[in-house]
Amino acid sequence: MLNSQVHRGYMPQQPQNVKFFQQLAQPQGHQVDQTMNHVQGNAGNNTVGGHSHSYSSGGLGNPSYVSPQNGVAATLQSASPHWQEQQTLIATSRNSSSPHHHARQAALSNKNSSQAQVTGGINPSAFQPPSAQHRKDGPPVEEKEVRKNDTGELERQDWKSLDLGGQGLRALSKSLFQYTFLDKLYINHNKLTVLPPAISRLKLLQLLDASGNQLTEVPPELGMLTNLKNLYLFDNQLTTIPNELGSLYHLEVLGVEGNPLQPDLKEVMIKDGSRGVILNLRESMQVPPPLAERDWIILDDSSRSGAKSEADKFQVLCYNILCDKYATQNMYGYSPSWALSWDNRKGLIRSQLIESKADIICLQEVDMENFNEYFMPELAREEYKGAFYPKSRAKTMNETEKKSVDGCATFFKSAKFSLLEKQIVDFSSAALNREDMKKTADIYNRVMPKDNIAVITFLENKMTGSRLIVANVHIYWDPQYRDVKLVQVGILMEDITKYADQWAKSFPNRARSPGDTSPLQPAVNYSSGSQIPLIICGDFNSIADSGVYELLSRGSVASDHDDLLGRTYGNFTRDGMSHPFPLKSSYSNIGELDFTNYTPGFTGVIDYIWYTTSNLNVTGLMGNVDKEYLARVPGFPNMHFPSDHILLQTEFQVKPRKEPISKPPPPDFGNNLPRKS
């Protein structure tokens, strides 16, 4: 990552002046209602209001409520621009209580304005998500919300705003929450006493107006709607706001006047405005009850007994721990600052690693300083040894600067494994040193500036003599650089093939720890590199529907693969890419996890533990995160999960080797005996 602002595709959100209610107060026909006018292409936007009913408008939830004031408080309120905005907005809100007010305003404005442009027509080419932060690969969360047809294609959607205002509604239908494409919902001036928690399903909402009802509380699940920019709760019976709404880091206006709010909350609004309230709520979040542990999934327990079978087993953990310099409030505004602090997160990470009892640990985004000063000494107490390489930018820095450079760290239990050799794969240098690539412009413009690396270790099982190659990699993140991702993995597989062949032909010296006098088991011989068991762990920043996944799982990709984007990369785009290893994602045995990266902008599987099926078998896996827990958690990191990624853990067993069967000598039927004369 080149800097903390562009890491994971984050584009900082700039505050916008909200003029929603002021625009409604303008004379009809002179301006399009901008609350409905989220322009997308040239398709039509219709704010759906349904049919007119004879219901009363429902009235204001609490229009006559006046906050108690003393002289000082009254002076502060009158001088506060934030509270003046509240007063302006609530006055206009109270004039918007007629049935389907917003839908009618939009219709009149669109009819009378020849310049009007209107929204709608979601289609694959025109869809624009509300924000692009945390993007990894594949469709963002926002686009997934409108993939509701049987074929998995984006359906055309001609309206995204729904006006149910002024209908005297006492409850909301469950079917409303199936309209996950909505970005604006008006349920103002009804007789609602509760908002169902299921409203959290409407993840695309950018505006929610629940003013003029009889709400005494709002559900904590409202904090899941992280795309909200405008939340209007005027004229209800609210005394407080749940801390979970602190996750609404895009919120620009929170309308709360006309509620008997607690004095401390109102003071924050007067002094610091909507954003100040949200920040206060976020920093006041309490640590929720302990979550249910992730299940351990047993896939094969047929060989649980026997010392030999246990010696052939080992567990591998893969984890992008989120480097300290990337864990900023700009990046993860839905998390409280104390949950993002490195002092808090590193302790949680350490506990996760030690409690896992994994034999091999592969970490990404470990900076040099924390490897040397924290993880190495802490894990050494648990009898781990490690190998680390930082990203290639460290080569151009002085000793102080390079401490903050992150890279990949591989740890192994020294009681079980010996390190025979280690290698680094510097993708940028490797590409520039290839005769077929170094003269192409795409290498210089796209591959060379990306300083991702991989660490390859060659281990030996002290108890069995079997050997193991472990690759630990972090692939470039940007979804606009699918070609670079594929080239990096292609280079990785070429280097693994090269080193595996070398290590099969000439074994490195067998390493011993100082003072280790235990007898060494006879080393297992391998006739070719592809016979050596291979594990590839990492953050590949690539979903299952990608060229990276195809190359690893199928062993090859064509030279004209879509992910190469028509660019030129030497032999890769002339002959295609291939490798000789029968690889499989360990989690594909259960259809992959629900996600390995969990943020509001992207939720999906991008981390993997790959293994060679010819000599390794998966016997166990760490399962998914509890779904009930996730119902109130918009994204990681948080107080329980110290990274935006979750750890992956797999148990393997080395398959018994099939020894070649020697052919018996041909039978002797006595044909060679001397004949009798």
Copy the structure tokens of residue 256.
Answer: 């709360």
* Separation of alpha carbons 327 and 637, rounded Å: 9
* Separation of alpha carbons 187 and 167, rounded Å: 9
Q: 198 near 179, Cβ under 8 Å?
A: no
Amino acid at the residue 167: Q
Residue closest to 24 by CA, chosen among 206, 169, 165, 181 = 165
Q: Is 607 annotated as catalytic?
A: no
Report the phi/psi class of residue 168: left, alpha or beta, with left for phi > 0 and alpha for psi in -120 to 50. Answer: left
- How do beta strands 230-232 and 207-209 pair? parallel
What angle do the packed helices 263-283 and 71-79 form, to 10 degrees?
A: 60
Copy the structure tokens of residue 511.
Answer: 């390493």
How many of the other CB atoms lie within 10 Å of CB of 554? 11
How many of the other CB atoms lie within 10 Å of CB of 517? 6
Copy the structure tokens of residue 391.
Answer: 């990203």
Report the phi/psi class of residue 648: left, alpha or beta, with left for phi > 0 and alpha for psi in -120 to 50. Answer: beta
Q: What is the DSSP string of 74-135?
A: HHHHHH-HHHHHHHHHHHHHHT--STTHHHHHHHHHHHH-TT--------TTT---S--TT-
Report the phi/psi class of residue 613: left, alpha or beta, with left for phi > 0 and alpha for psi in -120 to 50. Answer: alpha
**What is the spatial order of strands in the sheet that 253-255 belongs to?**
161-163, 184-186, 207-209, 230-232, 253-255
Q: How far is CA 161 from CA 128, 130, 157, 191, in A?
A: 16, 15, 11, 21
Q: 572 near 547, Cβ under 8 Å?
A: no
The residue from 33, 312, 359, 539 that is catalytic is 539
Residues labelled as active-site residues: 539
